[in-house]
């Protein structure tokens, strides 16, 4: 027959038992009085905040807590004089920022629970370090929005940026569509797919140096890249196309024995009131038109596998499409 579990006798043994439970907790545990002053804390709280226990005793818990950044704050931070409300651990935690002794901050999920002992009100605060969770979230977000080979935005991120510009602007929006010529030749050559990958990485490097960090520069397919440049009208997008041409030429001059880059490019610009997706279609059509010209000209002059030096700096399309709102 199972014997009932005997609780330690009160008051001294129970106090020791309670302290042992708090010390064994995997998260930081802080007990405050009715004014929010710290009375008791465990080792995990010391490790989290970097303070000795004696330094924190008597200090306001509120002085160690800040509101989370706006993108993560889901509810107002509780104040020490707010009426206490019991919250289920893990279900109603509030994301905040804990301030450490060395001046650094740590993202935490804080759960509060009211407690009365001998008629006196206390609050138990449990602080869970969210650093590793945030790092995992940021990594998952990165790999879901970036191309693994080039580090540029991927098709998913490009589509999200396009949808945002469609709904919110700002306009005008310059669109650049880019296709890498002769990627198949690189893949089928002596270097195999490693040579093709290196070619794509070099294209990505040129695009990064040509466009702004605020522009969406993406690899949207095997050999296709695209750029969304906000605030770029037809004149500005023409300048960008010329700058891209210069960047390719400079890269090929400095590339040594590496296969020269050759890109087919189409550009367009959408004005206020017109869908950016329409400009995207115009730029895409112009890019494919240039690609056909490149392949046709190369076949006629040099044969299908030849690369002429004059062909390796192409970037500027014959003209830029300007998409305006229909009257």
Strand 321-323 vs strand 263-270: parallel, antiparallel, or unpaired? parallel
Domain limit, last residue, from 82, 102, 134 = 134
Q: Does some domain include residue 2?
A: no
Query: What's the CATH code of the domain at 71?
Result: 3.30.450.20
Q: Does some domain include residue 251?
A: yes
Check if 27 is active-site. no
Same domain, 174 and 265: yes
Task: Kindly name the residue from 129, 179, 181, 223 that is annotated as catalytic.
Answer: 223
pLDDT tens digits, 154-166: 999 999 999 999 8
d(CA 86, CA 268): 58
Same domain, 257 and 154: yes
Q: Over 80: is that where the pLDDT of 319 sits?
A: no
Average pLDDT of the residues in 301-316 = 29
- Rounded to whole angstroms, the maximal C-alpha distance in the chain is 98
Summary mean pLDDT of the chain: 81
Q: Does some domain include residue 87?
A: yes
**Least confident segment among 40-44, 101-105, 308-312:** 308-312
> Packing angle between helix 155-168 and helix 131-145, nearest 10 degrees?
90
Q: What is the pLDDT of residue 214?
A: 93
pTM, whole model, 2 decimals?
Answer: 0.68
Domain limit, last residue, from 75, 110, 134 = 134
Higher pLDDT, 56 or 254: 56
Peptide bond into 14 cis (omega under 30): no
Query: 224, 135, 219, 134: which is closest to 178 by C-alpha?
Result: 224
Contact status, residue 288 vs residue 264, Cβ threshold 8 Å = yes
Per-state percent for the chain, helix, strand, coil, to nearest 5? 40, 25, 35
Contacts of 3 (CB under 8 A, 6+ apart): none
Partnered with residue 229 across adjacent β-strands are: 174
Q: Which domain holds residue 99?
A: 12-134
pLDDT tens digits, 238-290: 898 899 999 999 999 887 667 888 899 999 998 877 889 999 999 999 998 88
């Amino acid at each position: 027959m199972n014997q009932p579990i005997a609780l330690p006798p009160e008051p001294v043994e129970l106090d020791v038992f309670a302290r042992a439970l708090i010390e064994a907790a995997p998260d930081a545990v802080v007990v405050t009085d009715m004014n929010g002053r710290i009375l008791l804390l465990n080792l995990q709280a010391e490790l989290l905040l970097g303070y000795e226990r004696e330094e924190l005793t008597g200090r306001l818990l509120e002085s160690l807590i800040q509101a989370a950044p706006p993108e993560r704050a889901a509810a107002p931070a509780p104040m020490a004089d707010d009426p206490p409300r019991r919250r289920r651990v893990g279900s109603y935690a509030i994301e905040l920022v804990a301030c450490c002794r060395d001046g650094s901050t740590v993202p935490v999920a804080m759960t509060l629970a009211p407690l009365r002992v001998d008629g006196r009100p206390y609050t138990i605060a449990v602080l869970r370090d969210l650093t590793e969770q945030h790092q995992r979230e940021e990594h998952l977000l990165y790999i879901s929005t970036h191309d693994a080979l080039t580090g540029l935005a991927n098709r998913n991120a490009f589509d999200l940026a396009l949808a945002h510009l469609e709904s919110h602007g700002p306009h005008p929006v310059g669109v650049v569509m880019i296709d890498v010529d002769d990627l198949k030749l690189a893949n089928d050559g002596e270097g195999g797919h490693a040579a093709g990958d290196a070619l794509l990485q070099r294209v990505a490097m040129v695009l990064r140096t040509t466009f702004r960090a605020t522009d969406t520069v993406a690899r949207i397919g095997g050999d296709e890249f695209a750029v969304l440049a906000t605030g770029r009208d037809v004149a500005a997008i023409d300048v960008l196309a010329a700058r891209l041409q210069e960047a390719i030429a400079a890269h090929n001059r400095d590339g040594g024995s590496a296969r020269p880059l050759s890109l087919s490019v189409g550009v367009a610009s959408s004005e206020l009131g017109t869908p950016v997706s329409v400009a995207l279609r115009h730029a895409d059509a112009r890019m494919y038109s240039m690609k056909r010209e490149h392949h046709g000209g190369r076949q006629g002059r040099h044969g299908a596998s030849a690369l002429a030096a004059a062909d390796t700096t192409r970037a500027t399309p014959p003209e830029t499409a300007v998409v305006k709102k229909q009257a």
